[in-house]
A and B are shown apart, each in its own frame.
Chain A
Amino acid sequence: MTARSLKDKEQRKAWAFVVPALVWTLAFFVTPFLFMVAMSLWTQQGGMIVQSWTLANYLAFFEKSALFKGLVNSLEITAIVTVLSVLLAYPLAWIIAERVPRRFQRLALTLAVLPFWTSYVVRSYSWLLVLSKTGVINQTLMQIGLIGQPLELASNRTATVIGFVHFFVMLLTLTIYANLVQLSPNYRRAAADLGANGLQTFWHVILPLTLPGIMTGAFLTFVLCIGDYVTPQILGGNNELVLPQIIMLQLGRRADFPMAAALSIILMLVITAAYIACARWLKIERA
């Protein structure tokens, strides 16, 4: 056997290993996606899909304020959720990494993410139990006489944000903690040795070193939050629909696949833009 044919045989073997995954991805991810792009350039008229190329759906998105408002709502909610979650999770991760004794850290972390293990749909429902007019908070406040009438806590943007923040605080605590414990304690010793106080050490050394972890977590938050249908649908009410809700509306009530496809493409473009914006902090390719 020559070196050449030996190499060819090796190559064929390697291809055989990689082909199932590639074919699956191409058939069930890339093809549907391309088909969806095509679909977004068609229209639906009278329950039939008209296969002539047009940008009508995209134009409609910018013309009809109801659709465009969906994106604005999505972006606003996502931005608030991301910032709030990072701000709330960082101190918790810090406390677990710094204040909790080492052998209890694993336990503390497991507890901090325990509600992950409720079903995703159930998690939003649980907040409904807490926030609704007859829910825990209203009943408690009325019991102690702070309010006479129940407050409207659910079915609005605040409820959606609370539901999201609850989930992403757990997620971010996990990623930021992982980042914090990786840091060599010598960084802090070196900073202290050179005369930095606690705050200066945090600001000039610890924070910059954990920034990649924060950004990865924040990006994950952004992507998962802006594409989510369940939480706003359960907690958000019908006043301020977000983009995924509007997409689902196109499918359900109107069976307008082309419009749903166009809105999905727009959603994806937004996520891509976010990715490009923070690509330099992310290490997804290496993961």
Chain B
Amino acid sequence: MTAPVSIINATKTFVGFTALDNVCLDIAAGEFIVLLGPSGCGKTTLLSILGGFLSPTSGRVMIGGKDMTHVAPAKRPTTTMFQDYALFPHMRLKDNVGFGLRMRGVARAARDERAKALLDLVGLKESAEKKPHELSGGQRQRVALARALAVDPDVLLLDEPLGALDLQLRRQMQDELKAIQKRVGTTFVHVTHDQEEAMAIADRIAVMNRGRVEDFGPPAEIYMRPRSLFSAGFLGETNFLPGVVEALDAATAKVVTAIGDLVLPRRNFTAAEPDPGQQVTLCIRPEHFRRAGEAVRPLTPLGQARIADAAFFGTHYRCHLKPAAAGDPAGDLTIMAHMPPSAMVADGQDIVLAVNAEDVVALPTPAGRA
């Protein structure tokens, strides 16, 4: 089963601290949603409110069209998969997985059968008689998933489920998680601070910071067209380039920066319409920089820059560049750019930078950061 989820103006304050600040989020049935943010951003608080372990100070939670704000965890069509898995240490795997059905009065034979089916789903059919301490971390994680899914929840809440696994296993498990979600069709709400994990599994990502949802959309949109500086910086690497909006027309805006002028499509102002004279910050991904004359699409040249250092990453060179432009009064502007592995890159080399204006996003510069 599956159900849509709406979070309406949810706010949660603890003593002297706002964990959630007026959060609104609409999740469609069957979506795989990732709440992404650094620790303390409120993502786990939001998950606890969805699961019923916390009540919001104000605001509402709707699941499947019903108000669930003050319903106890057990009575919600949600189950939670805990960060430490919270497996019952004294029960065999099939009893762990069958626990929820036992609580619903399902007879032993039926729940054993269902438990076996779910253990099969997560690839642990053979281990039904084992106890949790006999399993590896990845296996425990799967049991926790099977247990949470055994009661057929409409919404599955996952609290950093892969956080305790090592990197390689994590990448493998995230693929499995995604595959299982597709098979069962349940709405998944998954909390993580790992942006690669988020991009790998999410239908949509909600980027959270300081108790707010800063950005919400499919991974590609959030990466390519972030709607906040935080979002742009948290998901992948970005160069932040300060500038001023100088001229506007119906389709474009001209932004003046220390290393050159850029004419951007107006739709690249993702957060707010541009105003003349406005301080903006341009977000340019390192891989969007080109050397002049390198690409097929029209490029905007950004002047000469010297490579301060470069490191080889297999798919690209990661270079720190010092622009030579005189327009940089402080002289401390550093640009990070990715160069193709075929490029002959050397420290101290001078190159002419360029960028496709289509790839550049402009966001208002917050007061005090100009």
Contact = CB atoms under 8 A, between A and B. Distances in A.
B262 to A, nearest CB: 52
Interface stretch (A1-9, A148-156, A249-257, A266-274): A1-9
Nearest to A9: B72
A181 to B, nearest CB: 24
A3 B71 contact: no
A9 to B, nearest CB: 9
B300 interface: no
7 contacts: A1-B70, A2-B70, A3-B55, A3-B69, A3-B70, A6-B55, A6-B70
B71 A1 contact: yes
The 9 A-B residue pairs whose C-beta atoms are closest, nearest first, are: A3-B55, A3-B70, A2-B70, A1-B70, A6-B70, A6-B72, A1-B71, A6-B55, A3-B69
A1 B75 CA distance: 12
A2 B72 CA distance: 10
Interface string B40-55: 0000000000000001
Given A1-B70, A3-B55, A3-B69, 6 more contacts: A1-B71, A2-B70, A3-B70, A6-B55, A6-B70, A6-B72
Contacts of A6: 55, 70, 72
Chain B's interface: helix, strand, loop or mixed, by majority?
A: loop
Interface of B: 55, 69-72
Contacts of B71: 1
A181 B185 CA distance: 53
B61 to A, nearest CB: 12
Contacts of B69: 3
A275 to B, nearest CB: 34
Contacts of A3: 55, 69-70
A2 B55 CA distance: 10
Contacts of B72: 6
Nearest to A7: B55
Interface in A1-34: 1-3, 6
Nearest to A10: B72
A98 B93 CA distance: 42
B20 to A, nearest CB: 15
A1 B72 CA distance: 9
A58 B274 CA distance: 89
Contacts of B70: 1-3, 6
B75 to A, nearest CB: 9
A2 to B, nearest CB: 6
Contacts of A2: 70
A285 B70 CA distance: 36
Nearest to A2: B70
Contacts of B55: 3, 6
B362 to A, nearest CB: 43
A134 to B, nearest CB: 57
A2 B58 CA distance: 12
A2 B71 CA distance: 8
B56 to A, nearest CB: 9
Interface in A71-120: none
Contacts of A1: 70-71
A21 to B, nearest CB: 25
Nearest to B72: A6
A3 B53 CA distance: 11
A62 B69 CA distance: 68
